Chains A and B, each alone.
Chain A
């Protein structure tokens, strides 16, 4: 996979791990993956209007037998806490959260920083396992994280940051 862009590696790795249903709320760091998913005929993909709506759709897809993934900014975590707690975690539904780590070093928008600072601790407080992808080699752990979501019947989060996505084609 060394010749693939990071976005293509992310999508391919998730698909290889059995993820077959994707929803997204956009972000600059997710643009490459969304472009690929829009053209991907192997999986179901649809844009959604807000993160908590996306978690509802993912819950329905999981009941229907799929392994869902939501692409979202870390700021969207703030919009989703009740959906995660009283739907996804209450019914123990596996969902992969592919999250851009906005507000981390490389962030050009000051207003992204407060939620960026809070997001890792919020995920810890919510007992959601996290994989930080800071360099391409970190993507190798995505498969076992997705399997952990199935075993633990839990949402799991993948952070992708500015350094990882630098030079993504």
Chain B
């Protein structure tokens, strides 16, 4: 299972949550599979998906899923300490770990070698950390949403990208429709 195939299985589970999606091809794939107003596609600022998700979760009662990548999380590892100590019950950090910088030509990340993002999350103080294969992730995510506690899910998939255009939404349109979704 690759990222696109994983996201296809996640979309039904993400229907009623606020979704912050990692920059680049992950956002393009999510947009292509299913564009909804509860999706905030990052158009820039690689590495900050989990941080945007944390700020959002601290200021809304709705469930928030930060759909992060392994390469992007490696850019902002301090987030695991902040989330490990301050995440509210409505935050789920779901890392799509394909061991690859998919948007830049599939260079390998260190999660292919000795690095474990699950161990890093536990070291950061995160209590509920689950590493699972891609094809079990939708079920794990549904359970995590029901559990009403902060969770980190590391979903292991293989590299691979769909050739898709950039998300064609203007940032202010995207921001405003997302804010409206939060308020309703």
A residues whose Cβ falls under 8 Å from a Cβ of B: 21, 44, 46-50, 52-66, 68, 82-83, 85-87, 90-93
Contact = CB atoms under 8 A, between A and B. Distances in A.
Interface string B22-43: 0000000000000000001011
A60 B171 contact: no
Contact of A82 (B45, B58, B171): B45
A-B pairs, top 9 by smallest CB distance, nearest first, are A60-B55, A86-B44, A56-B51, A64-B59, A49-B78, A56-B48, A60-B56, A87-B45, A57-B55
Contacts, number: 116
Interface stretch (B5-13, B79-87, B138-146, B152-160): B79-87
B184 interface: no
Given A46-B86, A60-B20, A63-B178, A82 B59 contact: no
9 contacts: A21-B55, A21-B59, A57-B52, A59-B48, A60-B55, A63-B59, A64-B58, A91-B171, A91-B174
B54 interface: yes
Contact of B82 (A53, A59, A62, A83): A53
A65 B183 contact: yes
Given A59-B55, A60-B56, A87-B44, 7 more contacts: A48-B51, A53-B48, A54-B51, A56-B48, A56-B55, A63-B59, A85-B44
Interface residues of B, number: 34
B51 A60 contact: yes
Contacts of A61: 55-56, 58-59
Contact of B55 (A49, A64, A83, A90): A64
B54 A57 contact: yes
Nearest to B57: A60
